[in-house]
Amino acid sequence: MGRGTRARNRRDPGMRMENFTMKKYDGLFIFATVAKDEALDTQIEKASAEITRLSGKVLSAQSLGKKNFARTMQKRDSGVYVKIRFELDPAQVAALKARYQLLEDFFRVQILVVDERREAIFAKQAEQERYREAARAAAAAARAAEAAERENQEAADAVEDNAQEEA
């Protein structure tokens, strides 16, 4: 089977996806200043459509908001940043980048491979931090309950002392 045939088959939507190794990617998209949220949503849909057109799968999209650039670029001083996590065949990444360069709506695009081991470490660290925070909260609640009990005991002792003095 020649190289051209394999490339044609890869784009064939009827092909089974199990034959390809899909990798996770984080795409950081900078759009020229968008005036309205509806326009931003259409830009995100365009980016997602390009990914799905190449047999990819969008996992999540997150708007990071409007940010000012460190210096003016192409007569622009700010842009709207959007992070999209997606799965795609590694052979299709170059085609995706080339497609984004052709579209004028995208000011800048950066695509990075997600390191699964690193993500697992971050998830484990976050879980440990949540556990520590829960333990701190439980200890603080126990200290507060102990202090309240101590105050109640002192109040009861004061009432008892007053009763004895009066008698």
Query: Which tens digits make up the pLDDT trace of 68-82?
Result: 888 877 777 788 899
Domain 3-114 classification at class level: alpha beta
* Residue 22 contacts residue 57 (beta carbons within 8 Å): yes
Helix/strand/coil percentages in the chain, nearest 5: 55, 30, 15
Domain ranges of the chain: 3-114, 116-167
Residue 85 and residue 29: Cα distance in Å, rounded?
A: 11
pLDDT at 17: 46
Residue 112 and residue 83: Cα distance in Å, rounded?
A: 11
* Residue 61 contacts residue 48 (beta carbons within 8 Å): yes
Span 149-165, mean pLDDT? Answer: 82
pLDDT at 33: 66
